[in-house]
A and B are shown apart, each in its own frame.
Chain A
């Protein structure tokens, strides 16, 4: 327990009371004296609540000036040109002038620009009246939403430009739209797949360099590949170049199906995308092999029950 210093205000009053002969001194003492308990725990500053140390702008500016002057001084000391004194030269000079045998590199003497030493502070986001500076402050993610906003503005400008070109008759439609993803796009059990979808094709499908008829001899797997294309009615329109690895034949087909559906999204309208989602083409299948549990023969099968 913290030692509490009890200061009785008006304790001298009580003493006076005891001096003068009055009845119920204890009662009057209680009435008149006001006990103010101040524990040392309260005096201690709450360091955790204060947050990271804050430095004023003037202080950091002073540090920067001192650093610049010190840099020139160091250059003169080392006999080098103070104008072209880089940070590497500073480090070299410091290690020469203050050789330290400490193993902990961060404990050795260092001289760096104050911006690197003092933690960057978050600039105050609102003015003196409490109104925030950024117009999207109240969204919570102002940089994200402002980026999206700028992006949309750029898209509108591009479309306007497109319309102008079309009006002049300079806009041609025969640009080949390539949907290209290099990262893994479809997953099922332990298979991963990625693919390149090319528009204005003839319906060729290549899987890992082989023709899809050769790679998937089973009809069911080829049906799964064709499922999203047939559902959207674009069977002969796209050329597919697929890469798939891991898992078995059925899970590879499932992974490719998911990848194809995701790739098709960028070529189709929103209503079609919604139809694909409701057909279950865009959900990654979460079913994986259930582990075997101890005390059982398999994931679900128990050992033969013996009565005794």
Chain B
């Protein structure tokens, strides 16, 4: 049994080389563009590269749109991504429910604050939960990250620039893990999430602390920045 297991593990290692990141689509296929506005813009408004992109799209086959996206005004790609990350064991219904409850909760709190505040402060209070969510996520995004690079037998934590996708992913991941771990047994997820999001909107809270810690580490390891070769 050990011999078979070894063989299969070897086999799987061999197969992994060319099968592990395949997709059911031919690489020739392009991503779909779902928003309606992209198609209503006339020819004159486009720049040269956008025109090229349009021509390419007219010739190439396009992948099917996933079931999470739609062209409705209520559909937000960032929120869809956040829901997918929150989802466990494929329970999209529950994840979406939590998200809607979170946004409702944020709105409730902000409206309460709005009614309690005096005339001068009322303009400063943001009531739209979507803007609060986006702004909170923006505040949580780290600017630099750390990579473990081996040099001369030792591993150094080297500060590296991060791509947009990576930054967004880290912000969302921190938010979700923070809300899952550091909450009281009896508080609901949406309750904790709304608290954290409002805190992040005001640039305070545990997630912001985590981001500042990462920045401090990167600042401390500035000396090793030249170890990065890309």
Which residues of A does B touch, CB under 8 Å?
Answer: 218-220, 223-224, 226-227, 230-231, 233, 250, 253-254, 258, 274-275, 277-281, 283-288, 294-296, 302-303, 305-306, 308
Question: Nearest-CB distance from A239 to chain B (Å)?
Answer: 21
**CB-based A-B contact count at 8 angstroms:** 83
Instruction: Flag if A220 contacts B68 (CB, 8 Å).
Output: yes
Which residues of B does A touch, CB under 8 Å?
Answer: 2, 4-5, 8-9, 11-12, 24-25, 29, 31-34, 36, 39, 57-58, 61-65, 67-68, 70-72, 75, 92-93, 96
- Provide the bound-state CA to CA distance between A121 and B68, in Å: 58
- Provide the bound-state CA to CA distance between A283 and B34, in Å: 13
Instruction: Flag if A226 contacts B72 (CB, 8 Å).
Output: yes
- Provide the bound-state CA to CA distance between A239 and B57, in Å: 32
Contact of A278 among B39, B68, B75, B96 (CB under 8 A): B39
Chain B residues with CB under 8 A of A286: 24-25, 64
Question: Which A residue sits closest to B100, measured CB to CB?
Answer: A219
Instruction: Flag if A302 contacts B9 (CB, 8 Å).
Output: yes
Chain A residues with CB under 8 A of B61: 283
Give 9 new A-B contacts, CB below 8 A, not counting A227-B70, A227-B71, A233-B36.
A218-B93, A230-B71, A275-B39, A277-B62, A279-B33, A280-B65, A283-B64, A296-B12, A305-B9
Majority secondary structure, B binding face: loop
Question: Nearest-CB distance from A307 to chain B (Å)?
Answer: 11
Instruction: Flag if B67 contacts A278 (CB, 8 Å).
Output: no
Contact of A231 among B2, B5, B68, B71 (CB under 8 A): B71
Question: Which B residue sits closest to A233, measured CB to CB?
Answer: B36
Instruction: Flag if B64 contacts A284 (CB, 8 Å).
Output: yes
Chain A residues with CB under 8 A of B29: 283
Question: Nearest-CB distance from A7 to chain B (Å)?
Answer: 63
Instruction: Flag if A224 contacts B70 (CB, 8 Å).
Output: yes
Question: Which B residue sits closest to A221, measured CB to CB?
Answer: B67
